[in-house]
Structure 1
Amino acid sequence: MKALTFVIVLIFSLGFTPVETTKVMITEQSQIIIKGKSNVNTFQCQYDSALLKEEYCITFLKAKNSTICDGAVIAIKSDGFDCKHRMITKDLKSILRTDEFPNITIELIELTHSTL
């Protein structure tokens, strides 16, 4: 079975502290958003964070201004996105082939603290 995987590129600097492992849970305040543009309009699809109930074990290194993850993988349901427009949501689910790939695997490479 093939897997659909999104990988985030890692850029980091020196200055690590020892490796730590901890269990984490993603809160409902977290967001996963896909922003896109078609030949007709722009769109934004948000993942239903209520579906994020699993606890994850993450091994990490603390760097100067960020946390470098080692093997931190999160699986989300590919049909958990809502684009606020029925046809766009249907098209996204078709593109993601949600019937063939029910999960999307996200590998966390680096976590940084940001204020939005």
Structure 2
Amino acid sequence: MLKTLSYIILFFLGSASFIPKMDVSKFKESTINLSSESYLKIKGKTNVSTFECQFDMTAISEAINITYKDEDSIVKFNDTKLILPNLEFNCGGKAINKDFNKLLNTEEFPEITLKLKKLSKSKTKANSITATIEINISNIVNTYTIPISVINNNDLHVSGVMPLDINDFSLTAPTKMLGMVKVSPKIEIQFSLKILEP
């Protein structure tokens, strides 16, 4: 539930004295829902312009299962993932959508999977949290550690930016106009997730 996830986040923000003590001996389970105000997008650029591919968050209609274990300044997650069908990304037009799906080898590998591995609290910087995220694109898996922002008002709001190099996933960007328009291998996944209680 949202309360459970809030306990985790509040613990990381240094408010542990207000949190019921969790049993750290085993993994706990919960579920979360994402608000329609959430967004996830892939941003990139060419040598002449920029592009943005927005994921249709309504495609995630079911609650997301989370399994976690609290270990001191780290919360570890087990098989907690977000599955993103490639065809649910809209880059602004049929031609660029086609190029985007060609880049991702959508016919053979139709999904991107983001798996949350752990949250870590900085030992030197107050209120600093990093997330370790495993990403699977075209059946190639890489792991990244990124800073995240957490706002806990009426709802829990988690956001961050994950820089990627498409070469790390053996992807080849298409070229246009006899090779004069080239896509940079450097892209980023931007996310802003508003979490609701199921």
Aligned residue number for residue 45 of structure 1: 53
Q: Once superposed, what is the RMSD of the aligned Cα atoms?
A: 3.0
Higher relative contact order (CA 8 A, sep 6+): 1
Listed as ranges, the matches of 1:1-116 within 5 Å are: 18=24, 19-61=27-69, 68-109=76-117, 110=119, 112=148, 113-114=150-151
Q: Sequence identity, in percent?
A: 28
The 3-state SS of whatever aligns with 1:32 is strand
- The 3 A distance-change label for structure 1 pair 57 and 83 is same
Report the structure number with the largest CA radius of gyration: 2
Runs of 4+ aligned residues of structure 1 deviating over 6 Å after TM superposition are: 63-66
Equivalenced residues, count: 102
Counterpart residue type for residue 100 of structure 2: L
5+ residue gaps, structure 2 = 1-11, 17-21, 120-130, 132-147, 152-156, 160-198
More helix by share: 2
More strand by share: 2
Counterpart residue type for residue 92 of structure 2: K
5+ residue gaps, structure 1 = 1-11
TM-score, structure 1 length as denominator? 0.68
TM-score, structure 2 length as denominator? 0.43
- The 3 A distance-change label for structure 1 pair 84 and 65 is farther
